[in-house]
Structure 1
Amino acid sequence: MLTIDLNQSDVVSERHLQTVTDVMLRAKKTIVVTGAGISCSSGIPDFRSADGLYNLVKKQYPKTVLKGKDLFDANLFRDCTTTAVFYTFISELHAQTLKAKPSPTHHFIKMLSEKGKLLRCYTQNIDCLEEELGMETKLVCEKGKVKKDVNVVQLHGSLRKLKCTLCSEPYGFITDYEKVFREGEAPDCPKCELNDGIRVAQGKRKIATGTLRPDIVLYNENHPFGEAIGRIQLSDFQKSPDVLLVMGTSLKVHGLRLLVRKAAKIVHANKKGCVILVNKTPVVGKEWNGVFDYFIEGECDHWCHIVQDALRKVKVQTKLPFKPLTTEQMEKQKQAQKEEKQEQEQSSDKENFIPLSLYKKQKPGSRKRPFAAMMGK
């Protein structure tokens, strides 16, 4: 894996960056996988910052100790207090996502779709910002069939939808429901209440009624449309994608790791296939050896701006000269980059070298300039 630091502007880094840009310009079937990192500039605050959502919830529930991951674990429903914390947290998160705007990275993904380069986008995010740009996220039509035109597959569900815990009836996340959640409670399901009222009016016994919860997939839960997502993935893999682009995620979720490794294997089966990771931090673990060809270290928005500008300038992608680098070529480029860095350091040392003669005491009447003057002070 060749690492390219977006904060470096040396010749070698620029050359590598151009190579990756050429990959995207020539790409015809790109699978994109995204995480929370692409929404950081959208206005959604970091959960863990001083004024983040975790601390906001802790102020309301000071005696409750929950880690960030625990707030998205289905086991929290076993306890009334942790359930209340979850509902309060979700109400605040929902309010923040409604204020958020799509980031430059979201616009970049939309541009790939418009140019016919996007095969599919798989996202871990539940903020639904792709919908703001008109991208299709609905997996299944009313007849229960998988929609072929879905642009974005929401792997963890949607924060803009609710569902009944008993009858699974879907609802929109309206303001009235948000207010109930903010108090740590769950709204009652209107459909269940209606059915119960009808039975009571008929003199029949009361039946159980469900409550509403966010239509998101928590840890230790199965995705309600898992089978449909599996079909879409299989369909995408059969189309021989030529690029896998992973952005804004450290790939810590088990299911996503499996998806990325499988997709990378399919892409590498294509002679011109390339797998790219764009993130502020690298992925950790031996399992990623040989998976990624390039790691773009830096902000997703920064890199997307670079490629987007290039896409706007190029009209005919088939004329772009590009040939994917072999492993041997990558190693040579790494060595060249290392040697160039060493040369720059040696050159810098020479420039900063001060001859011993300059420190010697000058003879009376000497016309030599003092040392400070010679150094431009």
Structure 2
Amino acid sequence: MTVVRRNKVSNKKVNVKLEKQSRIGDSGRVKKETGRRKIKREPLDTIAVKQEEFSEEDLKNLKLLGLTISKFRTRCSRLLKGFEQKPESVQFEIPTTDLKRKPKLRYRPPNGTILDISKLDFDRPLEDQIELSDVYFLHHAITYSKRVVMVIGAGVSVGAGIPDFRSSNGLFQGLATKSSGSGKNLFDYNVFRSDGSIKKFESMIHKLYTLSNECDPTYYHHMIDKISEQGRLLRLYTQNIDCLDVQLPHLKTKIPLTFHKPYPKCIQLHGNIQLMNCSKCRYITQLNETFFKKAPNTEGRRLIVRCPECQEMNKVRDIAGKRLQNEGILRPRIVLYNEFHPDGEIIGSITESDIKSRPDCLIVTGTTLKIPGVRRLVKEMARSVHANKGYVIWVNIDPPTQSIVDYVEYFDLLVIGSCQMVPGLVSLYDYVYKPKKRRRKVNTKVETLKSEKIRVA
């Protein structure tokens, strides 16, 4: 503010600047607001919060995650009150993000880092049990990846009540006998050479078929379906024949597979126990309980019988006076050891297409990678993911063998424990520990419209 005054000596006009003074009080000018927001503190009476001192490594990890100690303790205090009030089905749902662009990764663990969640207790703060920086990486990979490839094995269905194959309580040990040896022999193509082994194979199929109908998909199955619903699942390669995954609405498959695009979301690498097909004419029919309840044929079999489609074709050829052909065998549509995969060429074309699609995340769950074809698939996919700066994660109750680690080369994080805890861990971290975004203030401009006078002629 400038004021014009006259100098008494020279009688000239002089410009004088006056400083603007601010007063505090009712009669003075209003004090300018600082713009600080009031932070609402949550009651901490019944919540246990970690109060011990942080080491330099903990402070470094918190800084990488963008958290200060005060914010960190405040988020830890929300563990018991808010999260436990949610229904159990909602607790294990991964978050839905509407982000068009994937957030920048702030921390990547060294190759081969182990995250042990086998003894994790969700009623205690996570920072007391495991490294939060590793959980951040797992949360970031599952929540924000745009083209996820998942390879799952029998360990995913153990939580539903279906045993795996190679563990101490698995099918190979449960089906082992003194005469036939390990139960692995029942999954070999040579099982069709004798009537005695065929009868044991039929009883084993009946057991697996009954289990697959009685069991429901697990939390991990629903997590995969949720990723597919969000449009972020590139492909699910499953070694399971129980069909728990394809029951979900967003994990449908096509049988038989074709070379025509678009390819289905779920690719069954080892077949489907819910179907029967002919070994010759590729006739496919649904497997049901009537196969096991019907009277045995002349060879004493109920399930592994001659194909009705081939028999009908021979009847037509007999009437037409043509030479009869060999009839195929109707059997469950699963792939056994020492057997050629009927859809092998198509699956190879699908995997080649997925590798060229620049996947950004690979999660290998519930499998030991003993099958050579699956092991080679994981290696090629992991190489493509790391070339695109993506994430490769192993989830199993046991860590991979050194030969698997050397063969695949890329495993950013090894999650050791039940895979059924992964959805809850991701949901818990997102609810309690994830830093909140600051809302930007939007300046709204109010435009005044000048009314125009309308002259009436």
Q: TM-score range by the shorter chain?
A: 0.7 to 0.9
Tell me the equivalent position of 2:377: 259
Matched, 1:274 2:391: yes
* CA offset digits 1:321-354 (Å, max 9, x no partner): xxxxxxxxxxxxxxxxxxxxxxxxxxxxxxxxxx
Q: Aligned partners of 2:295 and 2:396: how far apart in 1?
A: 33
Q: In the comparison of the two structures, how many residue pairs are matched?
A: 312
Match of 1:332 in 2: none
State the Cα distance separating 1:56 from its structure 2 match: 7.4
Match of 1:162, SS?
Answer: strand
2:206 maps to a residue whose letter is S
Q: CA deviation at 1:199?
A: 3.5
Radius of gyration: which is bigger?
2
Structure 1 residues 109, 313: closer, same or farther in 2, change over 3 A? Answer: farther
- In structure 1, distance between residues paired with 2:405 and 2:171: 32
Paired position in structure 1 for 2:346: 228
- 1:176 maps to 290
1:361 corresponding residue in structure 2: none
Contact residue 115 and residue 130 of structure 2 kept, 8 A: no
SS in 1 for 2:262: coil
Q: Secondary structure at the match of 2:332?
A: strand
Check conservation: 2:173, 2:183, Cα contact below 8 A. Answer: no
Equivalent AA in structure 2 for residue 165 of structure 1: S
- Distance (whole Å) between structure 1 residues aligned to residue 305 and residue 414 of structure 2: 45
- Structure number with greater CO (CA < 8 Å, separation at least 6) is 1
Aligned: 1:76 with 2:194 = no
Q: Which residue of 241, 255, 270 maps to 1:156?
A: 270
Q: Which residue of 1 aligns with 2:202?
A: 87
Please say if 1:283 is aligned against 2:400. yes
Match of 2:252 in 1: 136
Calculate percent identity across the aligned residue pairs. 37
Output the aligned Cα RMSD. Answer: 3.1
CA distance in structure 2 between the partners assigned to 1:16 and 1:193 by the alignment: 60
Amino acid at match of 2:200: V
Report the TM-score when normalising by structure 1: 0.74
Residue 243 of structure 1 and its aligned partner are, at CA, apart by: 0.7
How do 1:1-377 and structure 2 match up within 5 A?
A: 1-6=112-117, 7=119, 9=126, 10=128, 13-45=131-163, 64-134=179-249, 135-138=251-254, 144-179=258-293, 184-185=301-302, 186-202=304-320, 206-271=324-389, 273-289=390-406, 290-308=409-427
Rounded to whole Å, the distance in 2 between the matches of 1:277 and 1:202 is: 60
Distance in 1 (CA, whole Å) between partners of 2:321 and 2:256 is 39
Q: Is the 8 A contact 1:88 1:184 kept in 2?
A: no
3-state SS of the aligned residue for 1:260?
A: helix
Distance 2:305 2:364 in 1: 37
Distance 1:250 1:48 in 2: 9
Distance in 1, Cα, partners of 2:287 & 2:430:
37
Q: CA deviation at 1:140?
A: 5.1
User: Structure 1's 70 and 181: CA in aligned 2 closer, same or farther, altered over 3 A?
Assistant: farther
Q: Contact conserved, 1:244 with 1:267, CA < 8 A, in 2?
A: yes
CA contact (8 A) 1:158 1:216 kept: yes
Task: Report the CA distance shift for 1:312/1:30 in structure 2 as closer, same or farther (over 3 A).
Answer: farther
Distance 1:112 1:221, change over 3 A: same
